[in-house]
Amino acid sequence: MSELIVVYTDGACHGNPGPGGWGAVVRFVDGEETQLYGGESATTNNRMELTAAIMALEAITSGSPVQLWTDSQYVRSGITSWIAGWKRNGWRTAARQPVKNADLWQRLDAAATTLTVDWRWIKGHAGHEGNELADALATRGAIEHGGSPRRQNGEGFRRPAGGARRGRRGVRRHAGS
């Protein structure tokens, strides 16, 4: 059994801006898996990518280290490189422009500082099970907020793997094997 909590996150947007969704898969040390998703009717892909990471980290209450996988270079680079400068500059870029999505970056920063997070990048749509599941959850969130079920690769909505039932607020739980 791993001592590491492993997280996969993804965002989706049907039109940018447009209806969007976020999805996260959180695999806890004890083998428990939690699937989270949601969305907004008018948003951007970057906001959904950030929201997925925020919601996943806010769902973790243990002190175990976290390995978070994202297919968004925006999220990974922002939290590991750019955020220090933004904070130093009063949430302004090097060009002295306001940081886009500062509200979400501040929330992500707050969530991440309570944990030890190893931020990892993974190529999206490359067949990795955790990333594909997070993508399917994000797509579901986008569809439930007005997105088209035919937007994903020109095909219908792909349901997340497994037979778990949807809980309140889009939380899905699986017991590990």
Per-residue pLDDT of the chain (177 residues; tens, 9 = 90+): 468 999 999 999 999 999 999 999 999 999 999 999 999 999 999 999 999 999 999 999 999 999 999 999 999 999 999 999 999 999 999 999 999 999 999 999 999 999 999 999 999 888 999 999 999 999 999 999 999 887 544 333 344 444 333 333 444 444 443
Q: What is the pLDDT of residue 2?
A: 60
135 labelled catalytic: yes
Question: How many other CB atoms are found less than 10 A from the CB of residue 29?
Answer: 15
Question: For the chain, what's the residue count?
Answer: 177
Catalytic residue among 30, 32, 125, 129: 125
Each residue of 149-175: pLDDT tens digit? 875 443 333 444 443 333 334 444 444
Q: Out of 71, 141, 145, 170, which one is annotated catalytic?
A: 71
CATH code at 5-174:
3.30.420.10
Of the residues 135, 141, 145, 147, only one is catalytic, namely: 135
What integer pLDDT is reported at residue 125 of this predicted model? Answer: 86
Do the Cβ atoms of 33 and 27 come closer than 8 Å? Answer: yes
> What does the domain layout of the chain look like in residue ranges?
5-174
| 135 assigned ligand-binding residue | yes
Asked if 11 is an active-site residue, the reply is: yes
**Per-chain mean pLDDT for the chain:** 87
Our answer to whether residue 15 is catalytic in this structure is no
Q: Is 8 helix (H, G, I), strand (E, B) or coil?
A: strand
Residue 39 has a pLDDT of 98
Active site residue 14: no
Q: Give dist(CA 10, CA 25) in Å, integer.
A: 9
Strands 5-13 and 66-70: parallel
